[in-house]
Structure 1
Amino acid sequence: MTTSEQTPGQGERWVLQFCHGYDGPFLDCARQYAVLFQGTPYKVCTVYLTGKPSAEVERGSASDEVIFLDYSSAQVRGLKLAAIRDFRRIAASRDFALCIAHRFKPIYVALLGSSLPVIGVHHAFGDYKRRSRQLFANFFRKRLALLGVSNAVRDDMRACLPGWPAERIETLYNRIDVEAIQAEQVSREVAREQLGLPPDAWVVGNVGRLHPDKDQATLIRGFALALPQLPAGSLLAIMGSGRLEVQLKALAVELGVSEAVRFLGQVPNGRRYFKAFDLFVLTSDHEPFGMVLLEAMAAGLPVLATDCGGAPEVVGEPQALFALGDHAMLASRLSALPTTERKGAEHAVKDCFTDAGAHARFWSLGLMPSRKS
């Protein structure tokens, strides 16, 4: 167990944040919840169940203390007794008001390893479809509250736990630090040079694993159908890698658009280059939220997305949505956009998807326990 070198003072009140790991979007998830307590009397200790100690992760966690339990994924299968013992030791080390645990495994460890109230944050669908998990949650329901990252995830949990009061299963949207992301993003000219895209082409962008869940096949089919109506030299640029790369490239050849479809591969910190695109399209199958949409909006891009999962909540405009797998409807949306006044087509990041908006929402939910006498 590795911790940052910091000694808690007497009389301080703490929040314990427990994360499965910091891969992918989950480091920023930890940051999002840590900053909810900035400007309050609470300090935040963030614990990562898996993942090697990292100074960069410590900085990115926005926490007063960071602890790395350094377990492997294999070590936290099954009963996770060692992790429960470690968690119990941490929970007893100072005056924690509650635990915020991300995903089911940390919720499980936190409830068995302490007597703290636990706020469980869920980032995916189906976490309580298993009967065993329903029984577990019901057993601990007096000190467990649940948050979904979208209304779609919240409603999925409510359907699986029908006996719970609605106020115990609520929504707290994922969010971004808009100014920080915009400061990272490079100009259109620099982005296109870095990605090898021509300076004057009209470019449709997509970012995601090349995986069936992301459904880039529908994107390629829709783009191919719309291409005759798009500006001359238009391109589709797909940023990401995965097991479907060969199949997707073959589909572009089959549809006669291989010269107009660019596979950019895995691009480190890809959101820096979003201004290279003229439009961003998300074709994912039931995305629980759609953080990439917020990052595209922060770049000032118009966006299109499937009308399922959490994406409609992020986009918020019916004309920017299309039915899952409906490449003809997508083609119609694509064909209309180049002739749309750019300013009117852009999507702004709504307040509820910013740190400030989430702060107000979290504290309005009344989830913080009163101070012990």
Structure 2
Amino acid sequence: MSRPEPRVLQLCHGYDGPFLDCARQYAALFAGTEYKVTTVYLTGAPSAEVEAGSASDEVIFLDYSSREVRGLKLKAIRDIRRILAGRDFKFCIAHRFKPIYISLLACKLPVIGVHHAFGVYGRLSRRLFINCFRQRLLLLAVSNAVRDEMRGHLPGWAPERIETLYNRIDVEAVQAEQVSRETAREALELPQDAWVVGNVGRLHPDKDQATLIRGFARALPQLPAGSLLVIMGSGRLEAELKALAVELGVVASVRFLGQVPQGRRYFKAFDAFVLSSDHEPFGMVLLEAMAAGVPLVCSDCGGGREVVEGVGRLFPWGDAEALACELQSLAKAESQVQPALLRLRETFTDEAVRSRFWGFCRGL
């Protein structure tokens, strides 16, 4: 009788937004190994595109409603036990708290819990729960900033049980998707000769596009003639941010593009990319901008600082005057993108983190 294939269960809440690529990132770490990866999405309808993008040997869509992943999640626990039955699963990778909770109760396997946000263990109930399983649990954070917050909330844990594994991209695949500067500007209906500052993200207080607009407005008189601020994204602050652009007298120089499908394809349209968030756990858009060869400006808090520091420009969060100074300086400077591209390949790719990941697995 042949030996069963060793398998890894990857459990994801869903595949919306960046989480499809998060599943791909972890499945890709097993390429060329003996392990087969089964990726399970708790929410989200079956999709051939998602299946292909998951880079997994098997993809299962449970298609739960939001109600079914609240409370005790008994149905999900039963279904995961059914998936595990009869196959040689060695460990589980679970993204975000609910999948971690389900995997810990559904099996006795070692679990790697991946956290993509701040504040997960601010709740006492979650701390009490997670402490019951720390002997077979390794927690990974997408940045040192998230890791350090988790360590603060879980002081009884050994530091090596709460570690950082940066997000990453397939550089060649992302660059192959990105269209030329001229094509990108045509698609976004931007003038070819303008100096363009780009921002991509939800129109939400966490992203702090208000400081971005204020900083751009202050910098504008010293920027090249016809300079534009272009914001991709939608959200509840859209009317408020548009009103701010009117109030500051820069409405003609600020373009709100709304939700742009596959927006990273058009990053070469930008002469600078600004991330102004107050609590960015990581900032995948920074990697996509680096892949496009776009100079970076980022607020100095959260995980974004770890991506940009040494290869881009940082400004104190919420400081519109400091942001204006960085934009003015960048507009006059000769573009230096090679250090950022080198850092991207050395730190934020699957190849760069693979040995670190397997070191964590041996410890688990």
User: Into which bin does the TM-score normalised by the smaller protein fall?
Assistant: over 0.9
Distance across 1 between alignment mates of 2:312 and 2:184:
28
Distance across 1 between alignment mates of 2:350 and 2:311:
26
Tell me how large the CA RMSD over aligned residues is. Answer: 1.3
Distance across 2 between alignment mates of 1:239 and 1:51:
24
Match in the other structure for 2:9: 16
Match in the other structure for 1:123: 116
Aligned partner of 2:242 among 244, 249, 253: 249
Distance across 2 between alignment mates of 1:368 and 1:50:
31
Is residue 312–residue 340 contact of structure 2 (8 Å, CA) maintained in 1?
no
Aligned partner of 1:295 among 270, 288, 293: 288
Q: Look up the equivalent residue of 1:70 and give its one-letter code.
A: D
Superposed counterparts of 1:72-91, under 5 Å: 72-91=65-84
Distance across 1 between alignment mates of 2:277 and 2:361:
34
What is the TM-score when the length of structure 2 is the normalising length? Answer: 0.97
Q: Look up the equivalent residue of 1:282 and give its one-letter code.
A: L
What is the TM-score when the length of structure 1 is the normalising length? Answer: 0.94
Superposed counterparts of 1:54-203, under 5 Å: 54-203=47-196
Flag the 1:101–1:150 CA change in 2: closer, same or farther, 3 A: same
- The answer to whether the aligner puts 1:313 opposite 2:306 as a matched pair is yes
Distance across 2 between alignment mates of 1:334 and 1:235:
12
Distance across 1 between alignment mates of 2:244 and 2:86:
57
- The answer to whether the aligner puts 1:277 opposite 2:266 as a matched pair is no
- The answer to whether the aligner puts 1:352 opposite 2:343 as a matched pair is no
Q: Look up the equivalent residue of 2:162 and give its one-letter code.
A: I
Distance across 1 between alignment mates of 2:139 and 2:150:
8
Distance across 2 between alignment mates of 1:287 and 1:180:
24
Is residue 209–residue 240 contact of structure 1 (8 Å, CA) maintained in 2?
yes
Flag the 1:22–1:161 CA change in 2: closer, same or farther, 3 A: same
Is residue 311–residue 339 contact of structure 2 (8 Å, CA) maintained in 1?
no
- Secondary structure, aligned partner of 1:193: helix
- Secondary structure, aligned partner of 2:140: strand
Q: Look up the equivalent residue of 1:351 and give its one-letter code.
A: E
Identity percentage over the alignment? 72
Is residue 203–residue 234 contact of structure 1 (8 Å, CA) maintained in 2?
yes
Flag the 1:346–1:200 CA change in 2: closer, same or farther, 3 A: farther
Deviation of the 1:346 alpha carbon: 6.6
Distance across 2 between alignment mates of 1:14 and 1:62:
14
Q: Look up the equivalent residue of 1:236 and give its one-letter code.
A: L
CA offsets 1:77-101 (integer angstroms, 9 cap, x no match):
1001011000111122300010000
CA offsets 1:239-289 (integer angstroms, 9 cap, x no match):
111111111111111111111111111100000000000000000111000
- Secondary structure, aligned partner of 2:193: coil
- Secondary structure, aligned partner of 1:343: coil
Q: Look up the equivalent residue of 1:330 and give its one-letter code.
A: L
Q: Look up the equivalent residue of 2:238 and give its one-letter code.
A: E
Deviation of the 1:124 alpha carbon: 0.4
CA offsets 1:202-232 (integer angstroms, 9 cap, x no match):
0000001111111111000000000011001
Is residue 300–residue 346 contact of structure 1 (8 Å, CA) maintained in 2?
no
Deviation of the 1:347 alpha carbon: 2.4
Distance across 2 between alignment mates of 1:368 and 1:111:
18
Is residue 16–residue 99 contact of structure 1 (8 Å, CA) maintained in 2?
yes
Distance across 1 between alignment mates of 2:86 and 2:110:
16
Q: Look up the equivalent residue of 1:274 and give its one-letter code.
A: F
Is residue 271–residue 295 contact of structure 1 (8 Å, CA) maintained in 2?
yes
Aligned partner of 2:45 among 52, 73, 84: 52
Is residue 301–residue 347 contact of structure 1 (8 Å, CA) maintained in 2?
no
Match in the other structure for 1:205: 198
Distance across 2 between alignment mates of 1:172 and 1:128:
18
Deviation of the 1:367 alpha carbon: 4.0
Flag the 1:245–1:152 CA change in 2: closer, same or farther, 3 A: same
- The answer to whether the aligner puts 1:304 opposite 2:258 as a matched pair is no
Distance across 2 between alignment mates of 1:240 and 1:346:
28
Deviation of the 1:317 alpha carbon: 2.5
CA offsets 1:171-215 (integer angstroms, 9 cap, x no match):
000000000000000000000000010000000000011111111
Is residue 303–residue 346 contact of structure 1 (8 Å, CA) maintained in 2?
no
Is residue 297–residue 346 contact of structure 1 (8 Å, CA) maintained in 2?
no
Flag the 1:286–1:47 CA change in 2: closer, same or farther, 3 A: same
Match in the other structure for 1:362: 357
Unaligned runs of 5+ in 1: 1-8
Q: Look up the equivalent residue of 1:192 and give its one-letter code.
A: R
